[in-house]
């Protein structure tokens, strides 16, 4: 049995300086990085805390009772988050996802949702405002989040078998409470499109080969025909605390093959440019996609790199801008933000300069290396900047 690597250096304390470029960069909505990729999605972590201890994200051996979370004064407040969000939208962001840790642990999160929901794109289009949660607090929060202006929600759920689920979250949390949260989100209208159709309520399942493979078909049976999209995610090599091994990765192609033993599936077109999930629809007796049966998705973050279309930036809970999920360091925006003399145009210029220099493509480079290669630098933890 391999030993888990425990980090000795806290990556949260390391940051790159966000500089004001010599030539100002105005927010025109047409910002592209060094590889021609636009800035379209922003993921905002609102807390580094979580009430689960999933071994692929926040293993109990590291995130124990002595683990030091960021002090409250270090976190961006809701007004600071909103100010930055408006600047990112001016640069081209059209979707904002709130994440964590577990975002519903952030006190009064509905206030932030209400603030963000007032932001419109330069052409007057409302933002696509969504949230990812482990579902543990969703039953009590779903209606207030919807009332505040949240559009959609994605729930992480790694199995329906209660014993498997309790083992994976490692805090003995029952699966029934998460299912109750999903039902509450559906009842509250989270995920309804303009036509009243349920298209934006999703469930994410991280698949580990020897842990929850037997939950793939039960999960598909449960959500098929419900209007809820189930997505299977390859176990990723994020951070340094989860003891990731390639042997634990079940390729998405194998997931699809396993599903097709019971359910005929047809490939669907991507729903948007830069979409990370490959879509598959359940087929009817004629072999055609049947919308009433719904669809599933697979996110092949290990076996099929999608770097060339990546249009996502990540803002950590204390204001560091990360350009890749697998980055080692982020750019410190909080220092600029809290300097009284820094105006919005200067913040926009600093963010534009950072994005224009972006050339990250970790997953593509990883695919060209031996499977046992050691990363050149230790990456930031997923629990800190969100998935």
Tens-place pLDDT, residues 147-186: 999 999 999 999 999 999 999 999 999 999 999 999 999 9
What CATH class does 11-385 carry? alpha beta
| Mean pLDDT on 307-318 | 92
| Mean pLDDT on 101-116 | 97
Higher-confidence residue: 322 or 275?
322
Instruction: Examine the pLDDT at 3 and tell me if it is beyond 50.
Output: no
Q: What is the DSSP string of 43-105?
A: EEE--S--S---TTTS-TTTSSTT--PPPGGGSPPHHHHHHHHHHHHHTT--EEEEESS-GGG
Instruction: Examine the pLDDT at 377 and tell me if it is beyond 70.
Output: no
Percentage of the chain exceeding pLDDT 90: 73
H or E element that contains 202: strand 201-207
What are the percentages of helix, strand and coil residues in the chain, rounded to 5? Answer: 30, 20, 50
The CB density around residue 59, as the number of other CB atoms within 10 Å, is: 19
Q: What is the DSSP string of 151-164?
A: -EEEEE---SSHHH
Rounded to an integer, what distance in angstroms lies between the CA atom of residue 216 and that of residue 180?
20
Whether this prediction's pTM lies above 0.85 is answered by: yes
Q: What is the pLDDT of residues 248-268, one digit of tens each?
A: 889 999 999 999 999 999 999
Rounded to an integer, what distance in angstroms lies between the CA atom of residue 99 and that of residue 187?
22
What distance lies between CA 23 and its chain's CA centroid?
Answer: 33
Rounded to an integer, what distance in angstroms lies between the CA atom of residue 324 and that of residue 307?
9
Rounded to an integer, what distance in angstroms lies between the CA atom of residue 184 and that of residue 266?
30
For residues 261 and 254, the answer to whether their CB atoms sit within 8 Å is no
Tell me which residue has tokens 């505040």: 148
For residues 121 and 89, the answer to whether their CB atoms sit within 8 Å is yes
Instruction: Examine the pLDDT at 238 and tell me if it is beyond 70.
Output: no
| Mean pLDDT on 35-62 | 93
Q: In terms of Cα–Cα distance, which of 115, 91, 40 is closest to 333?
A: 91
> Burial, 3: exposed, middle or buried (Cβ in 10 Å; 0-12, 13-18, 19+)?
exposed
**Given this model, what pLDDT does residue 98 score?**
98
Q: In terms of Cα–Cα distance, which of 247, 102, 204, 222 is closest to 161?
A: 222
Rounded to an integer, what distance in angstroms lies between the CA atom of residue 281 and that of residue 291?
8
**Given this model, what pLDDT does residue 304 score?**
80
Lowest mean pLDDT segment, chosen from 5-14, 235-244, 280-289: 5-14
For residues 240 and 379, the answer to whether their CB atoms sit within 8 Å is yes
Instruction: Examine the pLDDT at 9 and tell me if it is beyond 50.
Output: no
**Given this model, what pLDDT does residue 381 score?**
73
Instruction: Examine the pLDDT at 239 and tell me if it is beyond 70.
Output: no
Long-range contacts of 225-228 (CB under 8 A, 24+ apart): 225/282, 225/292, 225/293, 225/294, 226/294, 227/186, 227/191, 227/197, 227/198, 227/199, 227/201, 227/294, 228/182, 228/186, 228/191, 228/198, 228/201, 228/202, 228/203, 228/294
Domain ranges of the chain: 11-385
Instruction: Examine the pLDDT at 24 and tell me if it is beyond 60.
Output: yes
Instruction: Examine the pLDDT at 5 and tell me if it is beyond 50.
Output: no
């Amino acid at each position: 049995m391999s030993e888990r690597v425990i980090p000795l250096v806290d990556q949260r304390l390391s940051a790159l300086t966000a500089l004001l470029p010599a030539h100002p960069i105005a927010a025109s909505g047409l910002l592209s990085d060094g590889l021609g990729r636009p800035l379209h999605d922003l993921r905002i972590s609102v807390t580094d805390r979580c009430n689960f201890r999933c071994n692929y994200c926040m293993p109990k051996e590291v995130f124990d009772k002595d683990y030091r979370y960021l002090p409250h004064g270090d976190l961006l407040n809701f007004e600071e988050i909103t100010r930055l969000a408006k600047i990112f939208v001016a640069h081209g962001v059209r979707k904002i996802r709130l994440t964590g840790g577990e975002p519903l642990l952030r006190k009064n999160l509905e206030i932030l949702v209400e603030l963000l929901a007032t932001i419109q794109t330069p052409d007057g289009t409302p933002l696509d405002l969504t949230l990812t949660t482990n579902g543990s607090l969703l039953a009590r929060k779903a209606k207030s989040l919807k009332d505040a202006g949240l559009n959609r929600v994605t729930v992480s759920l790694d199995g329906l078998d209660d014993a498997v689920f309790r083992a994976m979250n490692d805090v003995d949390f029952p699966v029934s409470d998460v299912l109750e949260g999903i039902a509450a989100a559906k009842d509250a209208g989270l995920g309804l499109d303009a036509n009243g159709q349920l298209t934006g309520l999703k469930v994410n399942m991280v698949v580990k080969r020897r842990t929850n493979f037997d939950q793939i078909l039960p999960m598909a049976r449960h959500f098929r025909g419900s209007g809820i999209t189930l997505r299977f995610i390859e176990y990723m090599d994020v951070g340094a605390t989860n003891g990731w091994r390639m042997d634990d990765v079940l390729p998405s192609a194998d997931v699809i093959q396993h599903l097709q033993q019971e359910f005929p599936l047809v490939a669907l077109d991507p729903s948007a440019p830069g979409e990370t999930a490959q879509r598959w629809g359940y087929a009817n007796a004629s072999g055609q996609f049947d919308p009433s049966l719904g669809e599933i998705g697979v996110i092949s973050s290990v076996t099929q790199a999608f770097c060339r279309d990546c249009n996502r930036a990540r803002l950590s809970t204390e204001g560091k801008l990360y350009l890749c999920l697998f980055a080692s360091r982020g750019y410190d925006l909080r220092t600029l933000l809290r300097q009284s003399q820094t105006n919005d145009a200067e913040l926009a210029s600093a963010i534009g300069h950072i994005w224009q220099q972006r050339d990250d493509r970790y997953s593509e480079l990883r695919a060209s290396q031996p499977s046992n290669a050691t990363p050149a630098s230790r990456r930031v933890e997923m629990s800190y900047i969100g998935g």
